[in-house]
Amino acid sequence: MDFHAALNNILNPPVLFFFLGMGVVFFKSDLRITEGVSKFLSLYLLFSIGFKGGHELFKSPFAEEHLLTLIACMFMACFVPIYSYFIFRAKLDHANSAALAGSFGSISAVTFVTAGAFLHSYGYEYQGFIVAGMALMESPAIVLAVIIDRLGKKKSNGNQNEKIQWKQLLHEAFFSSSVYILIGALIVGYLSGESGWNTTKPFTEDIFKGLLTFFLLDKGIDAARQMRELKKVGFFLVGSALIIMLINVVIAILLTKIIQMPIGDALMFVVLCASASYIAVPAAMKESIPEANPSIYLTVALSIVFPINIIIGIPLYFYILKVITGTV
């Protein structure tokens, strides 16, 4: 691996502020970020990447490669929760296995944003359609997680009356705040074109990295708090998370090679596949699979998968992709 790139990533202000946020908990500082501010920062990041993605779509004609990438996104969004469920079932019950499977099948928008900042620092960019791919990957895993949970309950209890509240589930999956603002901003960015981008650029791009830095400070606090639960999740879940991440990365890299994605798009796709949701999926699981323990799926996604990706994963995936494409 390019240790210079890895070191630069760790010394990047957003990542350093993630560590600073963890220090709030470890050193028992009284620093607090209110829920309202945290929610605003999350929506801002989704709005910004959605709007920028829409603008890039406006500038770039849709090609066959883009369609193949979107198909690959949908494939991973459906495949990951199915196979990962069976890994978790080795030790966990139906509800917790399904919730974890949904978390790994969905994506982390903040990891995506951090990878985009990493790419930009090395002079690479990604195309707007990959943002559409991210939007496509967020919802299917939520629906599949609930279906898997209900099927598991029917099999174990012999209860044929176990029903899925489809209206509520589909509404949560496709119209939750994160999905809605991301897709909405993508559409607005595309329709408003160059004039819309020029108007919003000071808000969507110029202050983007500063607000990302502040958001990662908040996520560092959350991650450190959840780390207290690591003893409860046990070595099995830590090991399972690492194995699933590895499998997802290997499959994603193979797909980027088959489709022949440019390195910028390839990195963003691999990062999406390697990440786990700690915002959209937990919100949906709380309503749809209330038996699942939030301390399990939140801890795995936020305190294991997320830090590994932003600290060492992104530069490692970048290096592997450069080796594969012969650009090292």
Summarised one tens digit per residue, pLDDT across range 188-212 is 999 999 999 999 999 988 898 899 9
What Cα–Cα distance (Å) separates residue 132 from each residue in 56, 62, 140, 184?
A: 11, 12, 14, 11
CATH class of 3-325: mainly alpha
The packing angle between helices 109-121 and 314-325, to 10°, is 60
Q: Rounded CA gap, 198 and 193, in Å?
A: 9
Confidence of residue 121 (pLDDT cuts 50, 70, 90): confident
Q: Which residue has the higher pLDDT, 287 or 225?
A: 225
The helix/strand/coil state of 269 is: helix
Q: Pick from 150, 196, 234, 152: which is nearest to 56 by CA? A: 196
Token readout for 279 is 């915002």
In this predicted structure, what is the pLDDT of residue 242? 96
Q: Helices 129-138 and 64-88 sit at what angle, rounded to 10 degrees?
A: 30
Query: What are 23-32's contacts with CB under 8 Å, separation 24+?
Result: 23/220, 23/224, 24/220, 24/221, 24/224, 25/221, 25/224, 25/225, 25/227, 26/224, 31/221
Whole-prediction pTM = 0.87
Mean pLDDT (the chain) is: 88
pLDDT greater at residue 105 or residue 169: 105
The answer on pLDDT for 159 being more than 60 is no
Evaluate if residue 259 carries a pLDDT over 60.
yes
Asked whether the predicted pLDDT for residue 287 surpasses 80, the reply is no
Higher-pLDDT residue of 123, 179: 123
Buried b (16+ CB within 10 A) or exposed e, 56-70: bbbeeeeeeebeebb
